[in-house]
Amino acid sequence: MEVNTETELQPFSSRYQSEQDCMEALIAMKWPSGFVCPRCAHTRCSRLTSRHIPLFECGKCKHQTSPLVGTIFEGTHLPLLKWFKALELFLLEGGISAMRLSQVIRVTYKTAWLMLHKIRHAVGEFGARELLCGDVKVNSDQYGRNPSRCQFSHPYASAVVAGCTVTKSGEPEQVKIRLVPHKRGSEKRANRHDLTAFINEHVDVRTSVVQLFPQAFRLYMPLRKVVREAWESLKSTYGALGLKHLQAYLNEYTGRRRLLLSGELPGAEETMRQKLLQMCVEVPVLPYRRLIERQPNQPLAAAA
Ligand SMILES: [Zn+2]
């Protein structure tokens, strides 16, 4: 995908032109009602600006903290401007590959790859906190398989459970797609036990009316369409994805889809960006060691 940096980055560039602009945006997001000491909850502080990253010292217990602590930006050596550009590009409709990001913001491929995983992690964790509620549909579906050309299924085709809330017109609004561990291959499907496990974990059953679609030939079609779009989109941006991080990419897709839906309203683009920034500020960074060790589908990874 071609990224036109001139036009795509224009709205961003006009708002955040310096490190200080970015830092102030982070501080405002972290402490929207003013400083709160993470140790004693005191609200008075002094701001020490002698360092590159500002420090806040609690007026009561003297604990010092930076706005980056507890965010995905903690410990970063990169300018925040590069991070903010990465967030902007992450919100492109198909997302952005690490290779492309590394070229646009001029960092190494490994740095770009890690930045995207950190953003993806924030979006995934944030999404996991929000249960589906209201009118909820749940499909036993498959990822990575085109039913009309099943001979071309992806080697990593996998059973998934997909769930969504629906708008008044029946369109999927908030969507979750979960890989079903151990059920790899184009003939495997999630059973009722898997659907129940999904509902227990991702649906607020007290406030929801849940409709199940456990049979392949009777799926909730608008939701099935989203799963296929996820497959097409991830395939075109990232190429072949192994199973190790696939769940994180699926979370990225559904998280971005939701952000973009909210940004369609006039004037809502800035709200959408602020929401993504909020996710990155509220979710602690994923340590590199945990990222590379992650094996969401342990038995599959062991078999691969
Ligand atoms: Zn304190």
Taking 90 as the threshold, does the pLDDT of residue 169 lie above it?
Answer: no
The answer to whether residue 300 is domain-embedded is: no
The answer to whether residue 40 is domain-embedded is: no
| 35 CA from centroid of ligand 1 (Å) | 10
- Whether residue 139 is found in the same domain as residue 123: no
| 58 CA from centroid of ligand 1 (Å) | 5
Task: Count CB atoms within 10 A of the CB of residue 261.
Answer: 17
HSE of 278 in the Cβ direction (CA atoms, 13 Å)? 10
| 63 CA from centroid of ligand 1 (Å) | 5
| 25 CA from centroid of ligand 1 (Å) | 23
Report how many domains make up the chain.
Answer: 2
- Whether residue 151 is found in the same domain as residue 232: yes
The answer to whether residue 178 is domain-embedded is: yes
Gap between the Cα atoms of 51 and 31, Å rounded? 20
- Which helix (H) or strand (E) element contains residue 275? helix 269-282
Taking 70 as the threshold, does the pLDDT of residue 293 lie above it?
Answer: yes
- Whether residue 80 is found in the same domain as residue 120: yes
Nearby residues of 47 by Cβ (< 8 Å), 6 or more positions away:
54, 55, 56, 57
| 278 CA from centroid of ligand 1 (Å) | 23
When pLDDT is cut at 50, 70 and 90, the band that residue 102 belongs to is very high
Residues 256-274 have pLDDT tens digits of 999 998 877 777 888 899 9
| 24 CA from centroid of ligand 1 (Å) | 21
- Whether residue 123 is found in the same domain as residue 270: yes
| 18 CA from centroid of ligand 1 (Å) | 30
User: Of the ranges 114-123, 228-237, 241-250, which one carries the lowest mean pLDDT score?
Assistant: 241-250
The answer to whether residue 193 is domain-embedded is: yes
| 45 CA from centroid of ligand 1 (Å) | 8
| 50 CA from centroid of ligand 1 (Å) | 20
The answer to whether residue 154 is domain-embedded is: yes
Residues 55-65 have pLDDT tens digits of 999 999 999 99
| 242 CA from centroid of ligand 1 (Å) | 45
For 243, which DSSP code?
S
Maximum Cα–Cα distance across the chain: 67
| 64 CA from centroid of ligand 1 (Å) | 8
Q: 68: which 2 tokens?
A: 């980056």
Residues 130-153 have pLDDT tens digits of 999 999 999 999 998 765 555 556
- Whether residue 233 is found in the same domain as residue 142: yes
| 171 CA from centroid of ligand 1 (Å) | 47
Span 44-60, average pLDDT: 89
Top pLDDT among 180 and 153 is at: 180
State the pLDDT at residue 9.
45
Gap between the Cα atoms of 261 and 57, Å rounded? 40
- Whether residue 214 is found in the same domain as residue 270: no
- Whether residue 91 is found in the same domain as residue 223: no
- Asked whether the beta carbons of 203 and 163 are under 8 A apart, the reply is yes
| 119 CA from centroid of ligand 1 (Å) | 29
Q: Do the bridges between strand 209-213 and strand 135-143 make them parallel or antiparallel, or are there none, so unpaired? A: parallel
Residue 237 Cα to chain centre, angstroms: 15
- Whether residue 209 is found in the same domain as residue 151: yes
| 46 CA from centroid of ligand 1 (Å) | 11
For residue 138, the enclosing domain spans 131-239
- Whether residue 273 is found in the same domain as residue 148: no
| 69 CA from centroid of ligand 1 (Å) | 15
HSE of 169 in the Cβ direction (CA atoms, 13 Å)? 2
The answer to whether residue 248 is domain-embedded is: yes
Taking 90 as the threshold, does the pLDDT of residue 216 lie above it?
Answer: no
| 47 CA from centroid of ligand 1 (Å) | 13
- Asked whether the beta carbons of 272 and 255 are under 8 A apart, the reply is no
State the pLDDT at residue 7.
44
The answer to whether residue 157 is domain-embedded is: yes
The answer to whether residue 90 is domain-embedded is: yes
- Whether residue 264 is found in the same domain as residue 246: yes
